[in-house]
Amino acid sequence: MSVNRLFRVGSVAVASLGVLALSACGSDPEPAGSSSPDSSTSSAGAECPKGTLNAEGSSAQKNAIEEVISKYNEKCADVTVNYNPTGSGAGIKQFNASQVDFAGSDSALKPDEMTAATKRCAGNAAVDLPMVIGPVAIAYNVDGVTKLVLDGPTAAKIFQGTIKTWNDPAIAKLNAGVTLPSAPISVFFRSDESGTTENFTKYLKAAGGGAWTGEPAKKWTGTGAGKEKSAGVAEGVKSSKNSITYVEWSYAVDNKLGVAQIETGSGTPIELSADSAGKALAAAKPAGTGSDLALKLDYATKAPGAYPIILVTYEIACTKGLPAEKTALVKSFLSYFVSKDGQASLTDLNYAPLPAEIQTKVEAAIQAIS
Amino acid sequence: MSSPDGTAPPDRPDGTAAEEPKIEDLVHEDAGTTPQFGGLASEHADHEAAQPAAEVMTESGVEAAGTTATTETDGKLDLGPVGHLGDRLFGGLARGSGGLVVLIVAFVGIFLLALAIPALVDDKSNFLFSRIWEPGGDQPRFGIAALFYTTVISSIIAMLIAVPIAIGVALFVTYYAPKRLAAPVAHAVDLLAAVPSIIYGLWGILFFAPILRPVINGLSTALGWIPLFEKPPGDNVGVVFTASVVLAIMILPVVTAISREIFAQTPTTHREGALALGATRWEMIRLSVLPYGRSGVVSASMLGLGRALGETVAVLIILSVPNGNDPWNSSIFAGGETFASKIANNAAEFDSPEKTGAYIAAGLVLFVVTFLVNSAARIIVDRSTPGTKRPRRNRRTRAAEGASA
Amino acid sequence: MTAIAENTPAYDGKVLDLTGKSGARAFKNTLATVLIVLAFAVAMIPLLWILWTVVSKGYHLLLSADWWSQSQRGITVRRAGGGAYHAIMGTLIMALITALVAVPIAILGAVYLVEYGKGTRAAKVVSFMIDILTGVPSIVAALFVYAVWITVFGFNRVGFAVSLSLVLLMLPVVLRSTEEMLKLVPDELREASYALGVPKWKTILKVVVPTAFGGIITGVMLGLARVMGETAPLLILVGYSKNINLNPFNGFMGALPTMINQDRTELALPNAADRVWAAALTLILLVLALNLLARLIARFSTIKSK
């Protein structure tokens, strides 16, 4: 009897959960902004495959790829694209372990990673496709300071910890007419290993005139207090007076933080904008071999109007070797990502679109995937 | 307690024979106790506005047993080989589960050790006493001293805050609160165990840390001469103290919920006895409820501690991480990293087995710490209740009753 | 008087002096009452504060039917709309699998410790192992399952792998609390049952476990509440998907904690912030619903003794 009762109790529990599970059959929301899905489907040039595409990697491109996926689904409703912003390293690791179909990364594949990626692609090379330009802002929170100008050496000294107060002569010299407090500068850095840190320290090294003593790396070697992820450093600066950090532009804007202008030596301090970030990328040189499109950025660029601290996020995909249906999905999605439509949606999100020249190269590289 | 005490009758075929003397005892006791039990309970209900749920539970248990007795003696029960077979099956299942737990833990342990050992062998610095953490690369150097310190100090503070309060809340709910208030409060506390830790973290950094700032400033000004409370330079958001308080709030529901259930189970006879002899409510609790629930409260606290030591996301969100250049600071008003937050913060970048191994080795240390604390707590409990963890009352009660009769 | 002293196990043989100065005793009693009420008040402030934060910031999204029936497909962090259906289902499915595996092992294991193995060396080993398991942080459990499931077996990351790691976290919670509850079942009940010739297994199933049922349910619910709110294993063992996937053996899967995790980095954006608190509230309500269900079951199974 009691055993029966226990069984009954168990089955009731299971049944109730089952009912709970099945009572409401879920659905996907209507695509936003697609008033006439038929017309948009018919206007689509590329054919739409069916299936699921899984990707993982850089959190710096999360907002961009999310937006593009959303737009892409208005066109190709039968494709499901999942992107997990766990970090560049995780993305490459999962890609090499065949857990995802492509990876997002803030830096191009390193030689040993390329070896592993080639193995994963059944002996074919993997390709780095630059897809999104994410400018990195030097964000600050100082009462009464609405405009702050920094140059490479000063920024390097602040983040190295050799400049300790806001009214340091070096800062004051660049900001004539601005009342700077005598308070100590609190620096926040990314406590997780991140591509943003790597790109920012590359800038400090290249433009700092020797003031930055560490080597550029994903792990922070300067001064300050560490916070987790971009959200953490942005929140840190927001909630502490007289603080400064480096963070993706969108976080600085969303959290309403001040963004420093950069004096590159071109004559006028450069304000961060989609346009000025795009100009810096145009100055970049290709670093990859063959169809690989890895870029070498010039962080010390003095090109007029170019904002030097940018981060290029790549999609890493197999050139060959994926199952046919996955290949079709990867090609279809990435083609849309790099297309004018795909790139156009990024400016609103505080990313910079790819310059036309690079865009053409990437399009060609995606078409070559088979 | 072994079988002679009557807890565990031998599951041998000759079990009936072995039990015989006890049946007499029990019948005798039954005749004496049961009505008394009920009588006291109803009296208690008259006198006390707050009738804890425990009573209902214990009574219904007795009723269940009583019902069992009547139905089973109607001849449905086979006293012979059925019980034997059933016992073999059920006992086997229970033993199997026990064995499975051992196997699982052994497997986890061996597997993790296998992952950690190669990294430990490569470690170029002292794993236990170094504060550097640079795993991976050609010259991996990593040590757990700083992680260990932050993990342990934050958990100790969390336990110091949470356990007394949790016991207070559990006592309040079981023996102080008006019945109408007790049930909703109990449910509210249970509900809080369901708040995901990530939310505790977000709430902690967004809403609680600003409130705690003046407290931290005050404490560090007043007690700053002690290194533990020293005021470090820089910001005081995300310090160890804040994380500890949030951890305390987080484990409070867990410890409270289990303690509450334990306290509620204190036999009515114990409590009634104390009250009947003129004990005040507090004396009743001190003499019957607390000793009875001691082992359970320790278990509950250990579960809470396990959660505090191993908490990942909440700590990760709250704590500021000191940079590698500043000198190490032992103050609880400085930032830091715990084992779990360090592992979680870097999990995305485990790109080589050596690196992964270093973090897993850190995780293993966390096991050992938790285990040592657990063992220490159990030894303390066993010491303070000599003989056995379970109150030994049956024979004594009987003896007392026999004497009085 | 002596009887009380003897009956009370931990009272070290000292006899309580109930004839002492009543003023001092009354004062102690009042002091204790004040402290206990104070503890309660102190505990309630942050707890109610957290609940209030979550409820007040999250409730309005929950009022729409879309929240309960739609996924987040195509909804970016900046946009409003969509629902949490995918995440609710993911959380329920993974929790159900976890519970189905962990609860029987935990309860039987506790029965073993209290009823069968008590005092034996084997039971001590089991108890020791559970203590160790209590100390496994979620992230390490997740790394372990990752190493076995993906590195050794070469499977993909799926919801089931998450459940496996959650079993490691749920097992000690349920086992320990069940063990404590079983220990507290008065021996009279067992003895009365044995005296009537009821075999041990039946005594356990019909007398011991039902008597402790309320407590066992509390333990199971605490365990479920813990694993349903875990984030780390989800991050490592399954990708988050904004789309509906009800198959725990294939593909990425949404879950409420990872849904919170996705949007928590964008708290500066009002739509994302709304979703964070709403998803947290949903998770709390889910656990509450399971709790109520379990209490109902407990009530039916303990009071209705026939």
The domain segmentation of chain B, as residue ranges, is 147-353
| Mean pLDDT value across residues B153-172 | 94
Neighbours of chain A (3+ CB pairs under 8 A): B, C
Instruction: With cut-offs at 50, 70 and 90, classify the pLDDT of residue B307.
Output: confident
Q: For residue range B177-223, what is the model confidence (pLDDT) as tens digits?
A: 888 888 888 878 877 777 888 899 999 988 998 888 888 888 888 88
Is A120 part of a structural domain of the chain? yes
Which two tokens mark A67? Answer: 């937006």
A193 vs B346: CB contact, 8 Å cut-off? yes
| Mean pLDDT value across residues B371-380 | 77
Q: What is the pLDDT of residue B385?
A: 56
DSSP one-letter string for A122-187? TTPPEEEEEEEEEEEEEEEE-TT----EEEHHHHHHHHHTS--BTT-HHHHHHSTT-----SBPEE
Task: List residues bridging with A138 in a β-sheet.
Answer: A246
Least confident stretch, A183-187, B73-77, B309-313? B73-77
CA distance to partner chain A, nearest, from residue C95 (Å): 10
Query: With 50 as the cut, is the pLDDT of residue B112 above it?
Result: yes
Q: What is the pLDDT of residue A46?
A: 53
B335 vs A239: CB contact, 8 Å cut-off? no
CA distance to partner chain B, nearest, from residue A289 (Å): 24
Is A307 part of a structural domain of the chain? no
Binding positions of A for phosphate: 58-60, 88, 106, 194-196
pTM of the model: 0.81
Q: For residue range B118-151, what is the model confidence (pLDDT) as tens digits?
A: 888 888 888 888 888 888 777 888 888 899 999 9
Instruction: With cut-offs at 50, 70 and 90, classify the pLDDT of residue B33.
Output: very low
Is residue B29 within 8 angstroms of chain C, CB to CB?
yes
B82 vs C199: CB contact, 8 Å cut-off? yes
Q: What is the pLDDT of residue C17?
A: 61
Q: For residue range C192-206, what is the model confidence (pLDDT) as tens digits?
A: 998 998 888 888 988
Query: With 60 as the cut, is the pLDDT of residue B241 above it?
Result: yes
Instruction: With cut-offs at 50, 70 and 90, classify the pLDDT of residue B70.
Output: very low
Q: Which CATH class is domain C85-300?
A: mainly alpha
Q: For residue range C189-248, what is the model confidence (pLDDT) as tens digits?
A: 899 998 998 888 888 988 898 888 888 888 888 888 889 988 889 988 888 998 888 899
Domain that holds residue A201: 135-279
Q: What is the pLDDT of residue A11?
A: 53
CATH architecture under which domain B147-353 falls: Orthogonal Bundle (1.10)
C96 vs A66: CB contact, 8 Å cut-off? no
Query: With 50 as the cut, is the pLDDT of residue C167 above it?
Result: yes
Is A121 part of a structural domain of the chain? yes
CA distance to partner chain C, nearest, from residue B344 (Å): 7
Chain A, residues 89-118, CB within 8 A of chain B, namely: 89-90, 92-93
Say if residue A162 is in the same domain as residue A176. Answer: yes
C92 vs A5: CB contact, 8 Å cut-off? no
B335 vs A186: CB contact, 8 Å cut-off? no
Least confident stretch, A86-90, C101-105, C159-163, C192-196? A86-90
Q: What is the pLDDT of residue B142?
A: 87
- Name the closest residue on chain B to residue A165, using Cα atoms: B234
Does B161 or B42 have the greater pLDDT score?
A: B161
Query: What is the rounded distance in angstroms from the CA atom of residue C220 to the CA atom of residue C105?
Result: 12
Q: What is the pLDDT of residue B1?
A: 35
Q: What is the pLDDT of residue C301?
A: 64
Q: Which residue among A89, A225, A239 sits closest to B321, beta carbon to beta carbon?
A: A225
CA distance to partner chain B, nearest, from residue A239 (Å): 8
Query: What is the rounded distance in angstroms from the CA atom of residue A278 to the CA atom of residue A261?
Result: 16
CATH number at residue A211: 3.40.190.10
Query: With 70 as the cut, is the pLDDT of residue C284 above it?
Result: yes
- Amino acid at site B354: E
CA distances (Å), origin B375, targets B82, B153, B252, B378: 40, 19, 22, 5
Q: Are A317 and A142 in contact (CB under 8 A)?
A: no
Is A362 part of a structural domain of the chain? yes
Q: Can you give the three-state secondary structure of A311-331, one letter per residue?
A: EEEEEEEECCCCCHHHHHHHH
Q: Are C245 and C93 in contact (CB under 8 A)?
A: no
Q: Which residue among B205, B320, B349 sits closest to A193, beta carbon to beta carbon?
A: B349
| Mean pLDDT value across residues A289-313 | 84
Query: With 80 as the cut, is the pLDDT of residue B350 above it?
Result: no
Beta strands in B208-296 (DSSP E): none
Q: Which residue among B1, B172, B312 sits closest to C118, beta carbon to beta carbon?
A: B1
Residues of C in contact with B302 (CB under 8 A): 131, 134, 176
C305 vs B53: CB contact, 8 Å cut-off? no
Is residue A57 within 8 angstroms of chain B, CB to CB?
no
Q: Are C192 and B65 in contact (CB under 8 A)?
A: yes
Q: Kindly give the residue spans of alpha helices, DSSP state H, lying in chain C.
A: 2-7, 22-62, 65-69, 85-111, 121-134, 138-145, 159-183, 187-195, 200-203, 209-211, 213-228, 232-237, 256-264, 270-303
Domain end position, chosen among A250, A279, A308: A279
Is A250 part of a structural domain of the chain? yes
| Mean pLDDT value across residues A343-363 | 86
Say if residue A120 is in the same domain as residue A242. Answer: no
Is residue A192 within 8 angstroms of chain B, CB to CB?
yes
Is residue A175 within 8 angstroms of chain C, CB to CB?
no
Is residue C127 within 8 angstroms of chain A, CB to CB?
no
Instruction: With cut-offs at 50, 70 and 90, classify the pLDDT of residue B65.
Output: very low
| Mean pLDDT value across residues B379-392 | 55
Say if residue A35 is in the same domain as residue A93. Answer: yes
B370 vs C177: CB contact, 8 Å cut-off? no
Residues of A in contact with B316 (CB under 8 A): 228
Q: What is the pLDDT of residue B157?
A: 94
Instruction: With cut-offs at 50, 70 and 90, classify the pLDDT of residue B16.
Output: very low
Is A66 part of a structural domain of the chain? yes
B343 vs C9: CB contact, 8 Å cut-off? no
Q: What is the pLDDT of residue B388?
A: 40
Is A292 part of a structural domain of the chain? no
CA distances (Å), origin B75, targets C194, C196, C205, C224: 16, 11, 19, 41
Is residue B172 within 8 angstroms of chain C, CB to CB?
yes
Closest residue by Cα to residue A140 from A252, A44, A227, A224? A252
Say if residue A145 is in the same domain as residue A246. Answer: yes
Q: What is the pLDDT of residue B299?
A: 82
How many domains in chain A?
2
Say if residue A184 is in the same domain as residue A84. Answer: no
A225 vs B345: CB contact, 8 Å cut-off? no
Mean pLDDT of chain B: 74
Mutate: best of A1, A5, A30, partner C, most C CBs <10 A: A5
Chain B, residues 218-247, CB within 8 A of chain C, namely: none
Q: Are B196 and C280 in contact (CB under 8 A)?
A: yes
Instruction: With cut-offs at 50, 70 and 90, classify the pLDDT of residue B400.
Output: very low
Specify the residue for token string 């079942």. Answer: C185
Q: For residue range A117-156, what is the model confidence (pLDDT) as tens digits?
A: 999 999 888 999 999 888 999 999 998 899 999 999 999 9
Instruction: With cut-offs at 50, 70 and 90, classify the pLDDT of residue A10.
Output: low
DSSP 8-state class, residue A99? S
Tally C-beta pairs within 8 A across A and C. 127
Mean pLDDT of chain A: 84
C294 vs A2: CB contact, 8 Å cut-off? no
Q: In this prediction, does ipTM exceed 0.85?
A: no
Query: What is the rounded distance in angstroms from the CA atom of residue B108 to the CA atom of residue C143?
Result: 10
Is A304 part of a structural domain of the chain? no
Say if residue A228 is in the same domain as residue A350. Answer: no
Query: With 50 as the cut, is the pLDDT of residue B392 above it?
Result: no
- Give, in degrees to the nearest 5, the angle at Cα C10 between C9 and C13: 85
Say if residue A125 is in the same domain as residue A174. Answer: no
Which two tokens mark B191? Answer: 């509900």
Say if residue A139 is in the same domain as residue A275. Answer: yes
Q: What is the pLDDT of residue C94?
A: 95
Query: What is the rounded distance in angstroms from the CA atom of residue A156 to the CA atom of residue A162?
Result: 9
Say if residue A116 is in the same domain as residue A168. Answer: no
A224 vs B317: CB contact, 8 Å cut-off? no
Does C26 or B26 have the greater pLDDT score?
A: C26
Q: What is the pLDDT of residue C165?
A: 95
Q: Where are the domains of chain C?
A: 23-63, 85-300
Does B217 or B83 have the greater pLDDT score?
A: B217
Mutate: best of A3, A8, A27, A74, partner C, most C CBs <10 A: A27
By residue count, chain B amounts to: 405
Query: What is the rounded distance in angstroms from the CA atom of residue C119 to the CA atom of residue A60?
Result: 57
B191 vs C192: CB contact, 8 Å cut-off? no
Beta A149-151 vs A261-263: how paired, if at all?
Answer: parallel
